[in-house]
């Protein structure tokens, strides 16, 4: 691998951290899924912050397909318990055709529940459900039944099943006219994550700077490329050929060199190099020919990230020196929050 590729990624990051606005990306998409095959890397906090940044300039629709439903919790807080209609309910109705979906009841306006969104453009959300944990077994048993049918009969029901989230989005857009759609997914591929990939035009893949996360990146790319993997195997049964593009690889928890401002430390650089090396093997999956343009370096958010998620306050709305109690621990927004804000804004500007 040429070190020049990583050098260019680092130079772009340095320009962002000094406040420079980078040239716009060549391609943009309407529907994005935030997806990876590893938990505990701050995916839902990233989704929450991207949701805020996107809603500054676009009307938005957000979906939470993860059974942990952290994205939903970040937006609705304790009010989440009062929301009865979830994505799971809509999926069951779509797949089993047992009853019609009341989309106006399903979709919730965010502004009354999360104050920082009130001055932004209209944003709506379909919340997640803990029952999504059991959804994969239902989905694949259904597809297995259709696979037993003769070829002329299996395609249509398989397609309807795999396009369930896409159909939900399309149905909502008939009356909401959202300009951007953002889907938070589970760390596991099966079930709603599969349907999110079918619905998404492009993926945002957070990758923590550690070995397990870099290996998860390879697995994600292999799932998208290899025709023998589950994504293409089941899609083939339905006659689906769509593959979402990789639009952004967000390297999270990056550490920085104390002697050289805005330069990553040796460990961070090592894992960025590994991630770029893997990405080059799957170049055709990326939304731009120069895959380096798809890489983004994000700080280890430390206390600010925890505060953002737990207090349901976007990073852009935090100020250095503010103090909060998080899980019984008194925490302060550190001075480097300005770095985080510039990094998140730069990533959101590419969407």
Q: How far is CA 148 from the centre of its chain?
A: 34
Residue 311 has pLDDT above 50, yes or no: yes
pLDDT at 163: 97
Domains of the chain and any CATH numbers: 3-349 (3.40.50.300)
Q: Are 116 and 50 in contact (CB under 8 A)?
A: no
Residue 1 has pLDDT above 60, yes or no: no
> Could you report the per-residue pLDDT of 183-200, keeping only the tens digit for each?
999 998 889 999 999 999
pLDDT at 336: 85
The pairing of strands 108-109 and 60-64 is unpaired
> Could you report the per-residue pLDDT of 111-169, keeping only the tens digit for each?
999 999 999 999 999 999 999 999 999 999 999 999 999 888 999 999 999 999 999 99
Question: What percent of the chain stands above pLDDT 70?
Answer: 99
> Could you report the per-residue pLDDT of 71-124, keeping only the tens digit for each?
999 999 999 999 999 999 999 999 988 888 998 899 999 999 999 999 999 999
> Could you report the per-residue pLDDT of 260-281, keeping only the tens digit for each?
778 888 999 999 999 999 999 9
Residue 2 has pLDDT above 60, yes or no: no
Q: Which residue has the higher pLDDT, 39 or 36?
A: 36
How high does pLDDT run on average in the chain? 93
Residue 301 has pLDDT above 80, yes or no: no
């Amino acid at each position: 691998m040429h070190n020049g590729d990583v050098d260019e990624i680092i130079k772009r990051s340095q320009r962002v951290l000094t406040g420079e606005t980078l040239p716009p990306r060549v391609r943009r998409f309407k529907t994005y899924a935030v997806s990876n095959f590893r938990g505990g890397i701050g995916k839902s906090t990233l989704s929450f912050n991207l949701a805020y940044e996107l809603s500054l300039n676009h009307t938005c629709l957000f979906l939470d397909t993860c059974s942990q439903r952290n994205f939903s919790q970040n937006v609705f807080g304790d009010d989440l318990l009062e929301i009865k209609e979830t994505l799971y309910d809509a999926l069951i109705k779509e797949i089993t055709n047992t009853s019609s979906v009341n989309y106006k009841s399903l979709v919730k306006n965010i502004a009354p529940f999360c104050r920082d969104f009130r001055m932004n453009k209209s944003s709506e959300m379909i919340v997640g459900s803990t029952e999504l944990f059991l959804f994969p077994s239902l989905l694949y048993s259904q597809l297995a039944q259709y696979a037993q049918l003769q070829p002329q009969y299996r395609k249509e029901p398989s397609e309807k099943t795999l396009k369930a989230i896409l159909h939900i989005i399309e149905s909502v857009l008939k009356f909401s006219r959202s300009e951007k759609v953002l889907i938070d997914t589970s760390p596991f591929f099966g079930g709603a994550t599969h349907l999110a990939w079918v619905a998404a035009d492009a993926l945002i893949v957070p990758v923590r700077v550690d070995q397990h996360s870099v290996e998860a990146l390879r697995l994600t790319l292999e799932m998208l490329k290899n025709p023998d993997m589950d994504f293409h195997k089941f899609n083939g049964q339905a006659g689906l050929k769509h593959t979402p593009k990789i639009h952004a690889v967000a390297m999270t928890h990056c550490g920085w060199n104390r002697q050289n401002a805005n330069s990553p430390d040796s460990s961070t650089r090592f894992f960025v190099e590994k991630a770029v090396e893997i990405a080059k093997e799957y170049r055709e999956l990326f939304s731009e020919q120069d895959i380096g343009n798809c890489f983004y370096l994000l700080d280890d958010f430390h206390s600010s990230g925890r505060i953002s998620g737990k207090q349901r306050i976007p990073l852009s709305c935090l100020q250095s020196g503010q103090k909060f109690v998080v899980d019984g621990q008194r925490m302060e927004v550190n001075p480097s929050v300005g770095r985080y804000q510039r990094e998140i804004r730069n990533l959101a500007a590419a969407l």
